[in-house]
Structure formats: structure tokens, C-alpha cells
Amino acid sequence: MSQPQSPVFVPPEWNRHRAIWLAWPWNEDEWGEPLAGAQRCVAAFAVATAAAGEAVEFLMPPGDDLPLAALIDAGAKLTSEVPASGQIRTHALPYGDIWLRDTGPFFGVGREGTAEALLCAWNGWGGKYLMDGDAEIGKRIATIAGVPYSSNAWIMEGGSLDFDGAGRVLTTRECVLNPNRNPGWTEKVAEKALAEMFGVEQVVWLDKGLHHDHTDGHVDNIARFIAPGVAVAMRPSGADDPHTDRLLAIRADLEASLGRENVRVIPSPGLVTHPIDGSVLPASYMNFLIANEAVLVPVYGTPYDDAACRALGELFPGRRITPIRANYLLTGGGSLHCCSKEEALQ
């Protein structure tokens, strides 16, 4: 693999998209008992995303016999949404798990102003989850999309970066400087690499992500840009919020970097546990997807769901807020943003 000859500028997520890429959870050995619940969530997410003005490119493993009509029917029953005809297309491709935010390409704009994708190296979140097909799925997606791509030897996952379209990127030291990704990286080395890859001018460093996050602190679970230079994070909810220390530190770091006036805060979900084994999960409302006509927000059945959705509605005027129950999806290690990948409209 070679370094790209010029940066790929990743537009902010609130720009218009040509499509959203999703994938069907299929591997029972990986998911275990929560698989059926995760499948229901993804079906609802696909239908709601299509109803939010997006073309959905939906990956299925080869040999899966789930017809598209059954997928749409299952999702429509859970969301009361009905996608337009032709809004969801399926593609049979080999892949491991569904976390296309990380395994998929970085879609963006090259120096000539045309669509381009960047493929980074893949090592299964620091060698923890290496599954057949995941290292190749980025190239396969870019090929189906008809977008030229370049390859990069650095390990970089989409969930570890959040762009504001004006030269800034949010990230965490816990992930990007982790020796299980790119050994020897310092802040200075990482900033140079991110400038070369994406043309960013400022890296906004946060320290750590939520507790129990086996992605090693992906930023899309703790803070997101909502406008150039403006970010949203969460405040602790309830005396038993397991992430209180991290949430307070994240807010302080954001305010120090962006200015207090440029940081918005909404409630966290509070304590959310695994529906099967009761372990603490890294539940977050930050794992939302900004679609063309809506913001799709993971919710968990806690007392804070409604307040968080109302707060996000105030931050995204002109887009409706669509909550998707995501408890079973979260058992696999991620939520709505983690399993989706937007393809920018050029």
C-alpha cells in the first residue's frame, strides 16, 4: 500500500449524501443470543434511513436468503416508516461484521474536486476482532460506488475521527495514539499524518472514550461536530452513570479547545446494561447518523431518551429526529453511526 498523493477532504456529515451504506448482522458465532435483536434494529435503521431521504446500499453475505421485501416489512413494523420504492438496494458481498464506519472507505473529495475514497489499513481494532472479509470490504464498496480510491498504510478507523468540513477533526488519544494501531505515534506524528491524509488543519484532542468501549475510545461515541467549530457532548445522567468521570473530562477538553460558547451538551443515557448478561455497556446518544432529512438517534429505554432527542432536535433544525431502539445492536460493540457509512454527494 502507498500513501495517497493528495488529501481526501471528508465533508461534514450534515452535507448531502448520495447514499448510506449498511450491512446485515449475520454471524451467530460473533453475536450469540443478541443476534435476532440486532437484526431487528438494523432492519428498522435501514427503513428509517431510506425514509429520511437516503438511498441505502445494503450489504448481505453471499447465500443469505433474506428477501429485500422481508427486510423492509420488518423495519417498517418497528419504525412506522415506509421507504420510497427503490430506496434500498442489496449487494451480496463477503464481509465479517457490520461496522462499516470503520471497515468502509473514507468517502470525500480529491484535490480536483471530484469524488474520491481513501482506504486505510485494517487490523481489527488493534488485533481484537479479525474477521474474514473486513480488510477487503472498503475496496469492494468503493468499486460498487464507482468512486476511485487510493490506499494508505496507516491504521485509521472512521469512528475514530469526526470532521467539521472547515479544517478540524475530533479524535481521542486513547484510540489514535494507541500502540495497537500505529506503534510509535505521538500527537505530532498523528497530526502530520491526518493533515496528509485529510488536509485537516486542527486536531481537537480528547483523552479517552467511554468505559467498556472495546474500540479503544472512538470519538463518535463521545462528541460530534454539528457545525464548523461547534461540537456536542453529553453530561452525566443519574447518580449511577458509569461514565461520569469521562463525560466531565470530555466536556472540559472540548471547551478548552473550541471555547465554551461552541460546546453544546445533552443528557447521557445513564446506566445501560447488556440485555442478556447485565454487564455495563458504553451507551451513547452521540452515535447518531445525520441523514439528508433526519437525524437517526440510538435510544435505550432509559428515562433520558426523550430529553436527549428533544435537545438534538434543537441542534438540528430542519431535520426530524428519528429514535431507533439500539440495546441489542450495542451488544456487538457499536450503534447506529458505527454500522453506517455516508457517501458524499458531489
Using one digit for the tens of pLDDT, what is the confidence trace for 255-268? 999 999 999 999 99
Q: CA nearest 215: which of 101, 108, 63? A: 101
Convert the pLDDT of each residue in 126-149 to its tens digit: 999 999 999 999 999 999 999 999
Predicted structure pTM score: 0.95
Q: How far is CA 163 from CA 40, 62, 137, 140, in A?
A: 30, 34, 22, 24
289: left (phi over 0), alpha (psi -120 to 50) or beta: beta
The answer to whether 104 touches 158, Cβ cutoff 8 Å, is yes
pLDDT on residue 220: 98
All three cell numbers of 80, joined, read 412506522
Cα pseudo-dihedral 308, 54, 204, 185, rounded to 10: 120
pLDDT on residue 73: 76
Query: Exposed, middle or buried, 70 (CB in 10 Å: 0-12/13-18/19+)?
Result: exposed
- Mean pLDDT score, 160-171: 97
* Contact partners, residue 179, CB within 8 Å, separation at least 6: 185
pLDDT band of residue 71 (cuts 50, 70, 90) is confident
All three cell numbers of 181, joined, read 494501531
* Contact partners, residue 282, CB within 8 Å, separation at least 6: 209, 210, 211, 212, 213, 221, 243, 330
pLDDT band of residue 2 (cuts 50, 70, 90) is very low
Domains of the chain: 17-344 (3.75.10.10)
